[in-house]
Amino acid sequence: MDKFVIRGGNPLLGTIRVSGAKNAALPAMAAAILTDEPIILENIPQVRDIETTRKLLAAMGAEVELGYGRAQHRTTICCRSLTSPEASYELVKQMRASSLVLGPLVARCGRARVSLPGGCAIGARPIDLHVKGLERLGATITQEHGYIEASADRLRGAEIVFDKITVTGTEDLLMAATLADGETMLQNCAREPEVADLADLLNKMGARIEGAGTSTIRIKGVSRLRGAKHRIIPDRIEAGTFVIAGALTGGDLNVVGCDPSHLTVVLQKLAEVGVRTASAGDSVRVIGDGALKSADIDTEEYPGFPTDMQAQYMALVTQADGASMVTENIFENRFMHAQELVRMGANIKIEGHRAIVKGKTPLSAAAVLASDLRASASLVLAALVADGETIIDRVYHIDRGYEHIEEKLRGVGAQIRRIGEIFPKKAVPTAVRA
C-alpha cells in the first residue's frame, strides 16, 4: 500500500492547476447509459473512482475508450448494447457513487440490478431516496441478497419532493426522468454545480431539463437521447484544498483552471480567517502572509460551506489563533481526521457533530492514517506545515479523488514523495477498449 512522506515547512509558490471535478465526471459517465450513441467527455480527472466507473460500465457491455497522450483527460463511452444492466457488489463496495447507474439503467434497459452500498467511513449513507423516487416514476423495486432490482416498461413522469437534499439522488432521478413518459418535477433538489453540469450534458444529448442548479428541476421526458461532447467543470474541492495549502504554508500560490464562482462561500470564510485571496477569470491567487484567526463553520448543502472541505478547513484552523467551532451537518461520522490531527499536535475536542479546534498549536510530524478521501487531504495539509517528516498511510483514499496530488504539490515546492511500491508499477495500457 502506498504511503506519502511529507517534510513540512516549505511555502508553496507558483502555479498549480485544478483538474476536472470527480463528482461531475462520475454522473456524466453514468449518463452515457441513456443513449446508444457515443458520449465524449473532456477534462476527466485521472483518479481511481473514474477507473472504477470505467470497469462498472465495461462490465455492463459498454465500450469505454480512455484517451492517451495529449488527450489523456478525454474518455469516450458508447453504450450501444448493454448486455448486463448490473452493478456488482465488488464494484459498488469500492465506490458508493456506483448507485448513480440505477436510474439510467431502468430508464434505458427497463431493468437494473444494483448492489446496495453498505456502510461507509463517513456515515450510513443510505440510498432510500433514490429508490423512493424511482418508485414514484413507476419502477417496481425489490430488494434481495443485498441487491436492489428495479424494473419498468417505461418510467412515467411524476412530481417528487426529496425528503432530504441529496446530490447523487438528484442526479440519479434527473437522469431517469429524461427518458420517462411525460413531465417530472423534482423538488428540494441539490443545487450543487455538479448537478447543473450533468443537466448541461443531458440537454446536449437532447433532454429537456430546466432549473438544474436550483431546488426545483422540471424535466420533459423524451423518447430517445443522442450522443454528445461535453467538458467537465473544474473540481471546486480540489481548488479549495490548494487554496488552503497556499494559506497554511504562508505561500503565494496561483490556483488556475478553477471556477471561483463555485468557491464563493469557501473564499468568504477564508477571508474571515485572515487568508488573502484574489480571484480573476479562472484562477484564485492566495497570499499567505497574514496571521490566521479562528472562525466557525457549519457544513451545509451548496451554496453553503461544503462538507467536502470540512476536514481541510479543520487543518487550517489548527494554525489560527483562538477557538473555531466546526459543525458537520451532512454526515454523521466525518471527523475521523480529527484524532490524526491531534496526534500531530492539534488541540481538537469532538462533541457530537461539533469539533472545537483551539489554535494555534505547532504541528509535529507523525505516522498517521488516512481514513477517507477528504480526511487524507486534511492530513496532507497538516503535514505541509508540520515540523519533520510525516508518513501518511493508506493514500489510496486520496487517489480516489485527487489527480497526481504529490506531483502537483511538488511542482510548487512541497517536499512530498510516494513510497511503498515494492514492485515497479506495471506499464498502464495507453488506451483500453472494453
Query: Where on the chain is the footprint of ligand EPU (CB under 6 A)?
Result: 23, 26, 96-97, 123-130, 164, 166-169, 190, 307-308, 330-331, 373-374, 401
Beta strands 347-351 and 322-327 are unpaired
Min dist CB 191 to ligand EPU, Å, is 11
Q: Which whole-number Å values give the CA distances from 196 to 23, 85, 113, 193, 259, in the listed order?
A: 12, 26, 27, 5, 14
The Cα 376–Cα 341 span in angstroms is 11
- Is residue 109 annotated as part of the catalytic site, yes or no? no
DSSP 327-390: E--S-TT--HHHHHHHHTT-EEEEETTEEEEEE----B--EEE--SHHHHHHHHHHHHHSBSEE
Which three three-digit cell numbers place residue 49?
473512482
Query: Would you say 166 or 318 has its CB closer to ligand EPU?
Result: 166
Report the SS3 class of residue 234: strand
Distance CA 9, CA 405 (A): 18
Report d(CA 49, CA 349) in Å as an integer: 32
CB atoms within 10 A of CB 153: 11
- Compute the least distance from the CB of residue 139 to ligand EPU, in Å: 15
Closer residue to ligand EPU (CB): 277 or 378: 378
Q: Residue 413 CB, nearest distance to ligand EPU (Å)?
A: 26
- Nearest distance, CB of residue 36 and ligand EPU, angstroms: 25
Sheet holding 415-419, edge to edge: 367-369, 389-393, 3-7, 415-419
Please tell me which residue in 78, 79, 109, 120 is annotated as part of the active site. Answer: 120
Contact (CB, 8 A) for 117 and 146: no
In the complex, least distance from residue 206 CB atom to ligand EPU, rounded to whole angstroms:
24
Please identify, using beta-carbon distances, which residue of 294 and 307 lies nearer to ligand EPU: 307
Active site residues: 120
